[in-house]
Structure 1
Amino acid sequence: MKKTVANFVIDRTSYILFMFINSILIITFYSLTVNDTVEILYPISITIFLMLSYLVIDFIKYSRFNIDIQNSRNERNYNIRCATKEQKEIYSLLKELNLEHIKNENNIVNKYKEKEHFLANSIHKFKNYISVMALIIDKGKSQEVIERDILIDIEKENNNLESSLEQVLSFIRIDSFGNDLELTNVNIVQELKNIINDNKSKFIHNEVFPVFECSENDIYICTDKKWNRIIIEQIITNAIKYTVNNSNRKVYFNIESSNEEVILSIRDNGIGIPEYDLKRVFEAFFTGENGRKIRNSTGIGLFISKEICKKLGHTIEINSKINVGTEVRISYLSKL
């Protein structure tokens, strides 16, 4: 209460000074214009009485509002009593800020739950990969000479583990995207060739053949080189994963260039995506019908790609037909 009284006096200091100065000026005016003796005590008393009456009423409104403000800190939905339009405006602003805070809080909680769910599933996957590698190693120990097929199987599971770890790290780093961003002009033709070459073990182990259809050598786009690589690698991983049931396994890469836009197309001839699942493929953790058929589906790769594209200003779209294949198209600006 002492703090409230002190704050009230400080807030009303200018009003109190104004009333006293006003009274002094009026008395001075009459003393200079009227020859008779001017009464001083009476107008001063009237001024003090009226001023104190106003201040008491005003303090009741002021203190009630401030007490309610203090109580609302401990109780989120506490009803604040407003006596003036100014207080109503302040209360309206507080409610808006509170709603915005609740919304942000819920978003943070939901993101935390998403990450918790994703990390739990990922750890379970890592354990599976490690268990499979342990079984393969045990099988190899029983042989005098380790067969090449056993080493290939271990390498395949190790690649799966490495891809999953990279996916987890990318998912975690998305929230701090702005701290690790560098937009530059990138030669997408050479960069795509490098990415395909760096992922050749995935193609070889899954017996999928990459087909590069672009004849040009230099096409530049505006992007972040590291984050763009993550997008493309996620799409390549999906293309390989959902092409394994085809006898003629291929992934086609094409780049179309115009004056202001460059479109990268990555197309496979795999199992395709049902039409009723297409609208949800960019949602976090959505695996759809194919996720129940194919091992190691997480429903996070396309979500990561979509989120990175939004932050970089690229657009990504997907088209697919059952038993025909899937095409992912990424649109870039061609100039920085």
Structure 2
Amino acid sequence: MSILLYIKERRYFLLLYVLIMFFVSSMIYLSDGLSGTKMNLLYINIVSIIFIISYLIIGFFYHKRFYEELENALQLENDTVSAIPNPHTYEQGLYTEILKKLYTEQLEKMYILHEEKKEYHDYIMSWIHEVKIPIAASQLLMRSGKSADILMGKLEDELGKIDHFVDQALYYSRLDSFSKDYFIQAISLETVTGASMKKYAKMFIAKRLQFERTNLQLLVESDPKWLSFIVDQIVANSLKYTDDYGQIKFIGEEDNNEKRFIIQDNGIGIKAEDIGRVFERGFTGFNGRINTKSTGLGLYLAKRLSYKLGHDISIESKENEYTKVILHFPKNKQYHTVAKT
């Protein structure tokens, strides 16, 4: 910082000084009764100039180091904020606090972005691994020499798995742009359930599962496309963990506070120590690792999307007896604001 720039920053103080001295000089000059008026006037101006020059010089050296340290901090490539010198004035202190606060907020945002990028990278790697399995199985089937009817049925199963993984990847990639792609409306649980059962009809038939539907004429406020995806993830899990000749129930309930959609199966259930973590990304649990090949993404996506839609999702289970997944639709929720949550 140069002396000229420092003086320029004090221009209003200098202007004030000029005005004050003009006033004082005028009063003294116009006072006829005073002797030696001109000498007094000269004395006052000379002394005042000495004072103001001294003030500027002292102030310059007082602030010079602060400005030099600021300039040096600007030259740093890393950790610039920590190099900001201690403030000399209250105003400087406020600006320093603002800068540090903004820096902290930016670091937090960068950390979140880093974690999201890492999460997305991990998901893509997991997805590639999972989708290669049905592709490899399809290639083996085509080389197996089985009859056309059997081959087509098996290939259809593998294509269904690929379609399921592609759907997961598509909805996962659109989580952050959710607010631009939703439309809340009244939708019947019968409609959502029917679409999911139709999608997985072959698995229902192959495993000879019984299904029970109760009070599905209930209307809920949601986005049909996103809600259907959530239900598909839950139904896919039920089919995966329910043995042949098992049972899956679809139940609609309502009370004064909320509407509920329950999907319950009598499959292998979930261990008590795993129940609190089933909605974590990538968590498969004991049964997911031992009994089936699970990606641990279905319930994670269902939870994320339920939250974005203004719903909630919970789970109850007892190992080797049942699993009950409950979608909650609060009645007091302002669904026109869900995209902001």
**Equivalent residue number for residue 164 of structure 1:** 165
CA distance in 1, matches of 2:225, 2:60: 62
Counterparts of 1:246-261 in structure 2, within 5 Å, are 246-261=243-258
CA distance in 2, matches of 1:64, 1:180: 55
TM-score (norm. length: structure 2): 0.86
How far apart are residue 254 of structure 1 and its match?
0.6
Change in Cα spacing, 1:29 to 1:247, as seen in structure 2 (3 Å) is: same
Q: Tell me the alpha carbon deviations over residues 35-79 of structure 1, each in whole angstroms, 9 at most, x when there is no partner.
A: 443544443343333333333444445454444444156231325
Instruction: Say if 2:314 is the partner of 1:317.
Output: yes
Q: Tell me the alpha carbon deviations over residues 280-304 of structure 1, each in whole angstroms, 9 at most, x when there is no partner.
A: 1111111111221233311111111
Change in Cα spacing, 1:85 to 1:254, as seen in structure 2 (3 Å) is: same
**Equivalent residue number for residue 11 of structure 2:** 13
Let me know the Cα RMSD of the aligned residues.
Answer: 2.5
Counterparts of 1:48-127 in structure 2, within 5 Å, are 48-70=49-71, 71=73, 74-76=77-79, 77-127=82-132
Compare 309-318 and 174-183 and name the one that shifted more: 174-183
Instruction: Say if 2:271 is the partner of 1:269.
Output: no
Change in Cα spacing, 1:187 to 1:79, as seen in structure 2 (3 Å) is: same
CA distance in 1, matches of 2:209, 2:59: 81
CA distance in 2, matches of 1:272, 1:151: 32
**Equivalent residue number for residue 279 of structure 1:** 276
Code of the residue aligned with 1:156 in structure 2: it is D
Code of the residue aligned with 1:109 in structure 2: it is H
Structure 1 SS opposite 2:95: helix
Q: Tell me the alpha carbon deviations over residues 95-152 of structure 1, each in whole angstroms, 9 at most, x when there is no partner.
A: 222222222211111111111011011111111111100001111xx35x41x23222
Code of the residue aligned with 1:324 in structure 2: it is E
Code of the residue aligned with 1:134 in structure 2: it is Q
Q: Percent identity?
A: 27
Structure 2 SS opposite 1:181: coil
Structure 2 SS opposite 1:275: coil
CA distance in 2, matches of 1:190, 1:103: 43
**Equivalent residue number for residue 308 of structure 1:** 305
CA distance in 2, matches of 1:192, 1:263: 13
Tell whether the 8 Å contact from 1:272 to 1:325 is kept in structure 2 after alignment: yes
Unaligned runs of 5+ in 1: none
Structure 1 SS opposite 2:176: helix
CA distance in 2, matches of 1:17, 1:303: 67
Structure 1 SS opposite 2:263: strand
Structure 2 SS opposite 1:317: strand
Change in Cα spacing, 1:176 to 1:48, as seen in structure 2 (3 Å) is: farther
Change in Cα spacing, 1:78 to 1:213, as seen in structure 2 (3 Å) is: same
Tell whether the 8 Å contact from 2:28 to 2:41 is kept in structure 1 after alignment: no
CA distance in 2, matches of 1:220, 1:49: 86
Number of corresponding residues? 326
Code of the residue aligned with 2:168 in structure 1: it is Q
Change in Cα spacing, 1:84 to 1:288, as seen in structure 2 (3 Å) is: same
Q: Tell me the alpha carbon deviations over residues 236-260 of structure 1, each in whole angstroms, 9 at most, x when there is no partner.
A: 11111111xx233222111112355
CA distance in 1, matches of 2:247, 2:62: 77
Unaligned runs of 5+ in 2: 336-341
Change in Cα spacing, 1:334 to 1:79, as seen in structure 2 (3 Å) is: closer
TM-score (norm. length: structure 1): 0.87
Instruction: Say if 2:32 is the partner of 1:29.
Output: no
CA distance in 1, matches of 2:265, 2:8: 74
